[in-house]
Structure 1
Amino acid sequence: MAAASSSAPIHYKYDVFLSFRGEDTRYSFTAHLYEALRQAGIATFRDDDEIREGQELKPEIERSITESRASIIVFSENFANSRWCLDELWLILRQKRKGCHLVFPVFYKVDPSDVRNQRGSFTIKAKDGAEGLKWTQDNVKRWKAALSEVADFKGMVVSGYEPAFIRHVVEKVYFELGLKLHRTPTGLTGIETRAEVINSWLRYEQPGSPVLAISGMGGSGKTTLAKHIYYSNKQNFESSSFLEEIQNQPDGLLGVQKKLLIDISGNNNLMISNTFEGALQIEKTIHMNRVLIVVDDIDDKDKLSLLFGTKEFHTQSKIIITTRLLNIDTWFDSIAWRCHVFKMELLNCHESLELLCCHAFGSKIPMEGFKELAVKLAQYCGGNPLALKVLGSSLSNTAQDHWTRNDMIDVWRSRIDSLNSLEGDLDNKIQNVLEKSFKSLPCDSHKEMFLHIACLFVGEYASHVERILENDYHAKSGMVILINRCLISLSRNGLRLTMHKLLQDMTRKIVRNESKDPAKQSRVWRYDESYRLLRKGDGSERIEGLALNMLKFSEGRRSEAFRTSSLVKMKNLKFLHLSGVKLIGSYENFPELRWLRWHGFNLNIIPQGLLMRTLVAIDMSYGKLTKFEMPMV
């Protein structure tokens, strides 16, 4: 979700212009300061290119100074050796004289009196030869005046623990610019109420409870909440670090450890050669200092152990983890740390509609003529913030013209129809986020079981499904894993399997992507596709599950009968769900089913070929059956 815009007047592009000598501090102090400003939400301009000898001061530098509310000038040993730094200083002070620009001098390993009196490395004088074209008497005179003037400002001398000093600089900038300590991103609803519990935990000082996990399905707002908590509370800790996308770091886990150590220790020169050394250094730093760490999107216990080690120790530090796992608290039992699990609540109906409207209409309420459609779309999203944002933005409409608005209403209706179909027509942005949970499942059997549940078993009794799938997919352990990864859940009474609509659509899209031809897909749940397969006899060995409800068709079609040979072709069919279907023909060589539900069965006796020993569950309700014989085992 987008970060909030600055509270500065609209003509300002930046809050802060950062002036520094690249060769002195670009990859050390200034890099850390810039990152701290950026993470705190302070819009900061930093020139990322080294200005080389013979180059003129770039026009965008002067423009950026005038477009900034304030400047931070980092004076370091070689600052006065650069005419570009001196020119920046002069331009900054010129902007200050206009009465609309704040200046924050920072003295890094230099004495402010040397700056004021141009002593030591701050001695400057006119030069001869080619350099004399720029180092003229006039330029040197105005540069000296600028150095003397800025040194008289109330500046900050770097001393002590560097991360703590940088935090002090950030806080001072916030205060002087009149910014809020934390800017909540725009377009968020319900975040403050969800943050209350975690903020309370952060204030809890008991050493044995240093870890909290924010758990929930993909797109539920875990990362957004973690960032809100982080930026709201980081100033209360000695140092802090926000680690994201640790799975995709080019230097692997060792690179993640180095970034974490730099953030929380302030030492840019730490040398660690392997992850074991890194874990020891991290343990030591967390133990000795009060730090705040957020690890975003982790579901690997080994990576967590390598980051923080497995040694038991007491600490006043706080660690927040975002994960799709509900049982992550068990990971910490071995080191006697208590991990609190905060289950991410999805948005309620009011919050969902508000968030959708923010992205679709730029307001908290629907545009005239869109209310009913907006409510339907919000209901489809099921409280998932990512889906509300993506779908709202994709249907964005602020047009006031009557005809344009009518056209957009038709577009909304079309999109809602496609989403509510059984095709699994999910937006790719949403699909990619949700699919991470599916891809992270440890075993192929778990993935196959999940696909079966999503396509055929949502709403069924969990105990029944467990028995049906146990022999093929080890369902007793597999369903625990699916629940812990927020992929499936149980109904309020704990009896039936439930699944978020978006996860079900994500799963069905995976199946549909197997082939454009339903006959070559592993599961067929759309009744119109199942009807065509049976009518034409187009079944294949690829199909493992099929559902067909003829009661959903018109009266004229309901009496139509299909030949059993269409199903015989589906040699790997395990799960068959029929309602009001009439079959004629031989049941010899019929697929070896695990589950058969045939409501409205049209015969008095079950044919022998249909009662095979592989059946685990059979349901022949609401039919003409008068005699039932158990299959031979």
Structure 2
Amino acid sequence: MASASTSSVEKGYIYDVFISFRGKDLRTSFVDHLYHALRKSGIIVFKDDKDIEVGQKIGDELPKAIKDSKFHIVIFSKRYADSYWCLNEFVEILEICQNPEEGTFFPIFYHVKPSEVREQKGPVEKAFAKHSENEAAGRWRAAMAEAATLEGWELDKTGDGHEVQFIEKIVQAISQKPYFANFSINENLVGMMTRVEKLLLSLQVGFDDVRMIGITGLGGVGKTTLASVVFNRIANQFDVKSFVQNVRERSKDPKGLQDMQQRLLTSMFGDQSIDVPSDFEGRSMMQRRMPSIKVLIVLDDVNDSKQLEALAEPSWFRPGSRIIITSRDRQVLVAHGVQSHNIHDVGTLSDEDAIRLLSRYAFKTECPAEGYEELSKKVVKYAAGLPLTIKTLSSSLHGCPVQEWEDGITRLETVPWGDTLKILKISYDALEEDQKEIFLHVACLLKDERKKRAIRILESLGFRAKFGLGVLEKKSLITLRDVTHRCDDCDCDYDDDKKLDMHDHIEEMGMHIVRNLHPVEPQQHKLLWIRDEIEDIIEKDMGTEAIKGIKLLETDLPPAKILHSLRKMSRLCFLQVGWILYYEKSQSYSRRVYEYFTSKYHLPNSLQFLHWKRYPFRYLPKTFHGDKLVEMEMPSSHIHQLWKGGEKKVLPKLRLLDLTGSKLETFDSAGMTPNLEKLVLRGCEKLVEVNISDECLYVKKLDLSNCTALEKVTISNECQNLDKLELGGCISLRELQLHGECPSRLESLYLSDTKLRSLKLGLAANLEVLSVEQCEDLEELVMPVECQKLTALTLCGIKKLRSFNPGRIWKI
């Protein structure tokens, strides 16, 4: 069947089929199956999903939907006639269909006979009996008698009463009507039916207002196709219409806006003599002339609000006009006043729809040819739901033997597809330079990172991360997906429930941009993430100043060799090293080789972000000063002290230090971390003492939980910004010294399972959570004078408490 996507161009119908039925009888059974069968064939269906109470009148929506539909199916069931709503709706349909050019009516007799409808006998008579005194009963009877004489379908005489066969015959009969015969872009509607319907509902053609609708999404995802389908469907309901393509590209010309204004005016008013001297005067001309006509305008591929200001100010148009705008940048639409509920995001295709689309282009059928099923799945997997990629690939593979398909798929695994890449790169080229760098870091290094952590990392590298990621999201270059679990290897907040994500081809584009400058010299790439290339550079000692970021999640190289190779990477800012298999084979490796490699042991002083899981050495390199280091994460490391011999070096920019599960024995911030904001030493089983000195004015979070050997914690009175202190599970902790008053901004304090005997919290007026659960030695607890914000106080398991001064606790 040819597509319904443009099936309504001639008459201007919005819907192909309107279904009238009694909801309580059929909504979740026969009608539901018929509805989905019609839609699967590319037919747009209006099906009212409301249950209407007896006595209610047909509202404004239904008569309009009836008029805007070409075909009208009325399903006469045994109880159809007992509904005032159904009968009134039916009369409306029959009146419309008196004129064949306005609509066509088909009755379906569902377990009733045409004669029973025509003469109101049997179950129909029983259902109709309740209307005997209604003044409209005569009109309803006459309408039913007339309907039963028209061409229709009777379930009991079709397919031996089998509903599946019955529905197939109905769909086949509808789709073969001449109405559908002259349209041939069926492939464009694969996976789009729901999108078209939603867009039509948002447009609400016929309502007396000016409405702007936005369509956003990745390049190549089908925004223009969707706009075209809807444009063709409703074009004849407007006085004039215009589809303006490639607005972004045409705007690059110095007179681009002026030229588009002139084309709009000349096409809409049929006056080739119209001359637009400048885009400023063009705006004035459009403002004067547009209010006289009801227009439909599509502005395709808009990327700047200035384009909309020149072509489509809402105040210019006559009520009833509709403007559809496609853009990769959602913010452009929002800035121009398009309401968020009128902005439609076009997502990628499902695997099922992707296979259908590929099959139509590659095999001219609805499913892959025999022998090509698995190959088709591989192509679809590569395309990742992007229609443009599917069309490009499947068209190029049309008519090719299996071997050429296999060769093509092998090539795809290593080389980006050219046409798709060019289209996707348009969004990248429009970014500012720092936004481009953020995008490349996400594509190559930070995809799948939690959003808050990614922001921290990017900020540590000097980027305006929140703003930059916001721009990338609005331009559909990244997306955010929900997560529910906490990371084990990094300091992630529990409420950090979003991860950075992007379409596979967008990711591939970013990687291609980085690699394309030096395709055969990975040592010249600024970002490295491919294990084989990184290991080759390290083994051959080919490090260069060009390298700024390395992500090595797994390797079996000796750790000392990695450190030795870094000496040439003097501009390295980002280093992430994960699982080192070599170390796992030799637990004593760090002790045996440290002295031998001490002269070759190196970390670049240019580092701003450092993450090294299971770092195998006892100390940081002697030559490493860390003047630029902003974040350092070394979970499950063998670090005993930061530098050998207890040496202290100032880390002036360090904001986060995470040594979770390390072998650290003591930590004293004095003279070392003046700008520290977060210290995470969770699970450091050898840690005995922690001192947070008075120079740590900015520290906000201390997580020392489950440090089972920890005996003493000292926090300076100057640390007034501290809002979260976690000491739960420190089963040896006997001394918590809060010099002076307790930090005034402290919100959460966890002290469960400690050996504390006394706790005096002074003026911690912002305290919200206090847990001293199972503190069996606690004898004295003094709360703040006022605890207006306290929402959780856990005291269970305290056996020796003799003195408890709760202050004034307003709510718990």
Pairwise TM-score range, normalised by the shorter structure: 0.5 to 0.7
Give the Cα separation in 2 of the matches to 1:569 and 1:526.
19
Equivalent of 1:414 in 384, 407, 410: 410
What's the offset of the Cα at 1:390? 1.3
SS at match of 1:186: helix
Q: Where do 1:258-269 residues align within 5 Å?
A: 258-269=262-273
SS at match of 2:330: coil
Q: Report the CA distance shift for 1:597/1:209 in structure 2 as closer, same or farther (over 3 A).
A: farther
Query: Does the CA contact (< 8 Å) of 1:387 and 1:430 recur in 2?
Result: yes
Give the Cα separation in 2 of the matches to 1:256 and 1:428.
30
> Which residue in the other structure is 1:89 paired with?
none
Query: Does the CA contact (< 8 Å) of 1:520 and 1:542 recur in 2?
Result: yes
Q: Where do 1:111-126 residues align within 5 Å?
A: none
> Which residue in the other structure is 1:383 paired with?
385
> Which residue in the other structure is 2:371 paired with?
369
SS at match of 1:578: strand
Give the structure with higher Rg (CA).
2
Q: Report the CA distance shift for 1:306/1:338 in structure 2 as closer, same or farther (over 3 A).
A: farther
CA RMSD of aligned residues (A): 3.1
Give the Cα separation in 2 of the matches to 1:4 and 1:539.
59
> Which residue in the other structure is 1:46 paired with?
none
Query: Does the CA contact (< 8 Å) of 1:445 and 1:473 recur in 2?
Result: yes
Q: Give the residue type in structure 1 aligned to 2:517.
A: E
Equivalent of 2:357 in 355, 358, 371: 355
> Which residue in the other structure is 2:586 paired with?
none
What's the offset of the Cα at 1:269? 1.3
> Which residue in the other structure is 2:223 paired with?
222
Query: Does the CA contact (< 8 Å) of 2:243 and 2:299 recur in 1?
Result: yes
Give the Cα separation in 1 of the matches to 2:330 and 2:339.
17
Tell me if 1:488 matches 2:488.
no
Q: Report the CA distance shift for 1:445/1:3 in structure 2 as closer, same or farther (over 3 A).
A: farther
Tell me if 1:606 matches 2:620.
yes
Query: Does the CA contact (< 8 Å) of 1:523 and 1:545 recur in 2?
Result: yes
Give the alignment's TM-score, normalised by structure 2: 0.51
> Which residue in the other structure is 1:325 paired with?
329
> Which residue in the other structure is 2:445 paired with?
456
What's the offset of the Cα at 1:561? 4.9
- Which stretches in structure 2 are left out of the alignment for 5+ residues? 8-177, 484-496, 584-593, 644-648, 653-812
Query: Does the CA contact (< 8 Å) of 2:240 and 2:268 recur in 1?
Result: yes
Q: Where do 1:141-540 residues align within 5 Å?
A: 183-186=184-187, 188-206=189-207, 209-249=210-250, 251-309=255-313, 315-333=319-337, 340-397=342-399, 404-405=401-402, 407-408=403-404, 410-415=406-411, 418-419=412-413, 425-441=415-431, 443-470=432-459, 472-493=462-483, 494-516=497-519, 517-540=521-544
Query: Does the CA contact (< 8 Å) of 2:304 and 2:332 recur in 1?
Result: no
Give the Cα separation in 1 of the matches to 2:279 and 2:405.
56
SS at match of 1:304: helix
Give the Cα separation in 1 of the matches to 2:563 and 2:292.
73
What's the offset of the Cα at 1:359? 2.1
> Which residue in the other structure is 1:573 paired with?
572
> Which residue in the other structure is 2:651 paired with?
632
What's the offset of the Cα at 1:617? 2.6
Q: Report the CA distance shift for 1:364/1:561 in structure 2 as closer, same or farther (over 3 A).
A: farther
C-alpha distance after superposition, 1:324-362 (max 9, x if no partner) = 0122342224xx988820111211111011112222222
Query: Does the CA contact (< 8 Å) of 2:242 and 2:264 recur in 1?
Result: yes
Q: Where do 1:13-28 residues align within 5 Å?
A: none
Query: Does the CA contact (< 8 Å) of 1:332 and 1:338 recur in 2?
Result: no
Give the Cα separation in 2 of the matches to 1:228 and 1:596.
51
Equivalent of 1:597 in 590, 611, 624: 611
Q: Report the CA distance shift for 1:627/1:579 in structure 2 as closer, same or farther (over 3 A).
A: same
Query: Does the CA contact (< 8 Å) of 2:239 and 2:293 recur in 1?
Result: yes
Give the Cα separation in 2 of the matches to 1:363 and 1:252.
42
SS at match of 2:265: helix
Give the Cα separation in 1 of the matches to 2:369 and 2:559.
47
What's the offset of the Cα at 1:273? 1.0
Give the Cα separation in 2 of the matches to 1:221 and 1:374.
21
C-alpha distance after superposition, 1:1-25 (max 9, x if no partner) = x999999xxxxxxxxxxxxxxxxxx
Q: Report the CA distance shift for 1:563/1:462 in structure 2 as closer, same or farther (over 3 A).
A: closer
Determine what percentage of the aligned residue pairs are the same residue. 28
What's the offset of the Cα at 1:182? 5.6
Relative contact order: is structure 1 or structure 2 higher (C-alpha 8 Å, sep ≥ 6)? Answer: 1
C-alpha distance after superposition, 1:228-285 (max 9, x if no partner) = 1111111111110011123344641111111111122222211221112211222333
Query: Does the CA contact (< 8 Å) of 2:6 and 2:229 recur in 1?
Result: no
Give the Cα separation in 2 of the matches to 1:613 and 1:5.
62
What's the offset of the Cα at 1:455? 0.3
Give the Cα separation in 1 of the matches to 2:614 and 2:340.
54
C-alpha distance after superposition, 1:88-129 (max 9, x if no partner) = xxxxxxxxxxxxxxxxxxxxxxxxxxxxxxxxxxxxxxxxxx
What's the offset of the Cα at 1:372? 2.2
Q: Report the CA distance shift for 1:257/1:377 in structure 2 as closer, same or farther (over 3 A).
A: same
C-alpha distance after superposition, 1:138-174 (max 9, x if no partner) = xxxxxxxxxxxxxxxxxxxxxxxxxxxxxxxxxxxxx
Q: Report the CA distance shift for 1:323/1:542 in structure 2 as closer, same or farther (over 3 A).
A: same
Q: Report the CA distance shift for 1:484/1:275 in structure 2 as closer, same or farther (over 3 A).
A: same
Q: Give the residue type in structure 2 aligned to 1:361.
A: F
Q: Report the CA distance shift for 1:483/1:522 in structure 2 as closer, same or farther (over 3 A).
A: same
Q: Report the CA distance shift for 1:284/1:346 in structure 2 as closer, same or farther (over 3 A).
A: farther
Q: Extract structure 1 runs of 4+ deviating beyond 4 A.
A: 2-7, 177-183, 204-209, 309-314, 336-339, 557-561, 581-585, 608-611, 626-631
Give the Cα separation in 2 of the matches to 1:564 and 1:180.
71
What's the offset of the Cα at 1:537? 1.4
Give the Cα separation in 1 of the matches to 2:183 and 2:269.
23
C-alpha distance after superposition, 1:488-513 (max 9, x if no partner) = 11112442111111100011111111
What's the offset of the Cα at 1:222? 0.3
Give the Cα separation in 2 of the matches to 1:558 and 1:568.
16
